[in-house]
Amino acid sequence: MRKGLKKAAVLGLSAGLALTSVAGCSKKDNFDAEAAAVTVNDATVSAGVLNLAVRYNQAGYESMYMSFGLTDPFNQDLTGMGTTIGMDLKNQLATEMTHALLAEQKMSDYNVSVSDEDKEKIKAAAAGFIAANEEEVLKEMGVTQEIAERYLELITIQSRVEREMCADVDTEVSDEEAAQRKVQYVLFTPESETESEAVTEQESAEDTTEKVTEATTEAQTGSETETEAQTAALTENNATKTQTASETETEAGETETEAGETEKAVTASADGETEAQTKADDTDASTENETEVATEAETETEDPETAAAKERARVHAAEMIEKIKAGGDFEETATEMGKTANTTTFGADYSLTELVTATDGLADDTLVEEPIETASGYYVVKLVSQLDREATDNAKTNIVNQRKNDRISELYTEWTEDGDVSVDSEVLAKITFDYHLVLPEEEPETSVEEETEAISEAKTEAGTEASTEAKTEETETEEVQTESATSAKKKEVK
């Protein structure tokens, strides 16, 4: 039986939900909502508050997962990393609540407070949420007026403190630092006849996997954007150490040998120099020979069908370039060849370095006159502009937001290390996913005042936007390759 959880636009509780059962044994009877789930110094977040945070995030993404045909997403290991989405979500939100407590303890340092008026709004928002939903649904979620109020208070404080935590971040970014160039491109992907038959079946599965992976990341992003305080420590390069030690031993051995043969070296210096040069020449010849052998081996091991497919892709890319050089329009020529011209922008740090190198120093509206070889195929590229104004301004915003997010993460890391922080794993284990919370097909209108909803939105200003845009920038390469590769696979190169 489905029970509707009506929409209430309160701080972080603004999704309309529907509840259904999942096969399995519920542990809610053993769940103590008053137990300390997170402890920071002398303060705690109750299991009930953490559970509410988990349930809201569950509802925010479960509809998406189920649209991919996943019937029990939070109990599945979709990434192959040995943990379920539910486990990752609980851990991320435990960190989120840890940061919320730390922010509450530091709020006076930043002159942040919660006024009586704020408290009344929080109380009214929580009451509205409780009143709008059926008792059975609220019981399943374990939500009470007190729990809802405490959750809303914590995230309100956290959002305000985080704005102050990054208030001193440098917001000046030059065009040079943020410069984004704009290009048109077509990718000719090597495709053998056997691969062409198999790729259609693979694409559907790959597309679903990619979307699920992105959704998994997004499910954590809401927490990670404000909670991800851990900064990876730089590790020593052991290989470099080993190489250095080896070189040191070699040099010591050579020094000892030279000391033992000094007299011979003095009496036959000319011969020694000649011999040394001969050895150097032999070494160079040997290196060149090894390179040639490696290249030949690589060529010999390459499947003939693959090599032929790569050559066909290169020839077609070169053919398109010649047609454009003869006066053809980029997009029209691409269409004539069964391709779709795409447009993208990127900076100097773009992961497809071949495209960056090929377009360095070109004037605006210039065609790259040779196919650009990459791991995924051959690109035909036309530089539209070295500095795209809109994309560059967006990059500036991303850079500033990332600086803010980094600053917030640094402070949370510092505070966590200096404090006494713990998370009760037994409490986390009792937060199970034995029912679905999903968005209904139709959401009722909100009845909570806009001012209350605005407090919730403030929570994301310091971190969410920066992390989301950074994620988009990180995956831009994959999107470019996937989009163009898919086009190349669906339309056989002729």
CATH topology of domain 181-222+304-386: Chitinase A; domain 3 (3.10.50)
| Angle, helices 145-165/85-106, rounded to nearest 10 degrees | 70
C-alpha 166/C-alpha 52 separation (Å) is 28
C-alpha 470/C-alpha 405 separation (Å) is 10
**Helix (H) and strand (E) counts for the chain?**
18, 11
Let me know: does 439 contact 63? Beta carbons within 8 Å.
Answer: yes
Domain range list for the chain? 3-173+393-462, 181-222+304-386
What was the pLDDT predicted at 13? 55
pLDDT per residue over 225-246, tens digit each? 433 333 333 333 333 333 433 4
Q: Which class for 267: exposed (0-12), middle (13-18), buried (19 or more C-beta within 10 A)?
A: exposed
- Show pLDDT as tens, one digit a residue, over the chain (494 residues): 334 333 333 344 544 455 565 444 445 557 899 999 999 999 999 999 999 999 888 887 887 888 888 888 899 888 888 999 999 999 999 999 999 999 999 999 999 999 999 999 999 999 988 887 778 778 888 889 999 999 999 999 999 999 999 999 999 999 999 999 999 999 999 986 555 444 444 444 445 445 555 544 444 444 444 333 333 333 333 333 334 334 434 343 443 434 344 333 333 433 444 444 444 444 444 444 444 444 444 445 668 999 999 999 999 999 999 999 999 999 999 999 999 999 999 999 999 999 999 999 999 999 999 999 999 999 999 999 999 999 999 999 999 999 999 999 999 999 999 999 999 999 999 999 988 776 555 444 443 334 434 434 433 343 444 344 444 444 444 444 444 444 433 433 33
Alpha helices in 302-388 (DSSP H): 304-325, 330-336, 353-359
* Closest C-alpha among 138, 136, 114, 112 to residue 126: 138
What was the pLDDT predicted at 471? 40
φ/ψ of 172, rounded to 5, equals -90, 125
Q: What is the pTM of this model?
A: 0.65
The domain made up of 3-173+393-462 is a member of CATH 1.10.4030: yes
What was the pLDDT predicted at 440? 52
What was the pLDDT predicted at 20? 61
Beta carbons within 8 Å of 378's beta carbon, 6+ residues apart: 187, 188, 313, 314, 316, 317, 371, 372
In this structure, what token pair is assigned to residue 310? 């790569």
C-alpha 144/C-alpha 150 separation (Å) is 10
